[in-house]
Amino acid sequence: MVKSKKEKRRKKSASPTRQQLIKNQNNIRKRKNVKKRRNMKELEDEEELDLITKKMLAEYSDDNDDSSSAVSSSSSSSSGYEDIDDEDDIVKLRKLERKRQRIEEQEEDFWFLFIFFAIFLIGAIMIFYYVFNGGVSDGGGGGGGGGRRRGYNQQHQHHNQQVKDSVYHLSVTMKELYNGIPNKKVSIERQVICASCNNCRDCKNHRMQKETQRDFFSGRLYHTCYCEYHVSLPVNVKKGMKHLDLIRLDGEGNRHPNAYNGDVVFELRSGNSYGSFERFDQIHLKTKITISLKEALLGFRREIKHIDSHIVVVQREGKLTEHNDIIVIKNEGMPIKDEAQGMMYGSSTHGDLHVTVLVRFPSKISKKILKEFDTLF
């Protein structure tokens, strides 16, 4: 028994008492609440000392479970605390231990969420890569063709989309819009991506190019063969079409093995005038004629050569014509391309021709004529 007591005293003297540890912990907390500190290094040293104290508290509680009564009695007699104070210290120690466990659990939860989010993000990137990678070949811009957008691993594209339209600008005159062009030949550039480099029907008689790219995730090599060539397409320009109207040719555009063929879209570019004729309100035309003063007083008759070369007669008899008078001739305007447009403007085939009459006055009048005018008026 004497030996065990000596060992306990030696153990107690080697390790600090719980009151001393609690006091050390409280002193550290008080120092942390001070607003003014000398430098950040002191703060880091105090935090490190706080962690060491917590660790010693945990080790002390584990190593002295069998001799807690003896240590508590000796510590109370040496320090002068009563039994109630010793119980408060034990409660404080337990609170510190629970706080340390909560911090550890929060750290574990943080790392669990971080790993879960990282796995989810990597999976989403891989799904996006394998589903949407590569894209479908784009059609060109206006004018004379367009750019191409190809991606590797295009063999895995799904056949549920269509290649982008190839849009071109088609320049026409107002005479061509008036008469119409049943089969206007237009040359475009077609871009074809092959399903197989060994057997490609569209590129059979054309120069084929090969592109090799490596998959970022699997490291596999993918070969894409494609060709570009010019093709002549018939374009039907209907009578009465106007500037910026669109003509679509289905399936005549760029080709991709795992998508529907793209369309070719022609956007008409035209002016609003041809010769002395000018277009307005989409279906009407206007022009000007000049008559003399005599014709303005007695009447006149004019023949106008229309856009398609047929003759239009403009006349007025037994009626005075003033300067800038407008004579409207029905069904001599622009052709109406469809029934809906005709119903909108109240005409079935053509718009109207508006003729503005300009009266040319003589530069000189003799005195005899002036006297005759004076007697008449």
Where is the domain boundary, 89, 106, 123? 106
Where is the domain boundary, 50, 84, 106? 106
The mean per-residue pLDDT over the stretch 233-244 comes to: 93
Same domain, 226 and 293: no
pLDDT at 71: 41
Where is the domain boundary, 269, 296, 316? 269
Q: For residue 127, is it within any domain?
A: no
pLDDT at 127: 78
Domains of the chain: total? 3
Same domain, 97 and 171: no
What is the pTM for the complete model shown? 0.56
Half-sphere exposure of 235 (CA within 13 A, CB side): 25
Q: For residue 284, is it within any domain?
A: yes
Same domain, 279 and 254: no
Q: Would you say residue 155 has pLDDT above 70?
A: no
For residue 284, give its domain range. Answer: 275-376
Interval 62-79: pLDDT, tens = 555 544 444 444 444 443
pLDDT at 344: 65
The mean per-residue pLDDT over the stretch 304-310 comes to: 95
Q: Per-residue confidence at 60, pLDDT binned at 50, 70, 90?
A: low
Q: Per-residue confidence at 152, pLDDT binned at 50, 70, 90?
A: very low
Q: Per-residue confidence at 198, pLDDT binned at 50, 70, 90?
A: confident
Q: Per-residue confidence at 175, pLDDT binned at 50, 70, 90?
A: very high
The mean per-residue pLDDT over the stretch 148-166 comes to: 56
CATH classification of the domain holding 362: 2.60.260.20
pLDDT at 364: 84
The mean per-residue pLDDT over the stretch 272-291 comes to: 94
pLDDT at 237: 94
pLDDT at 261: 92
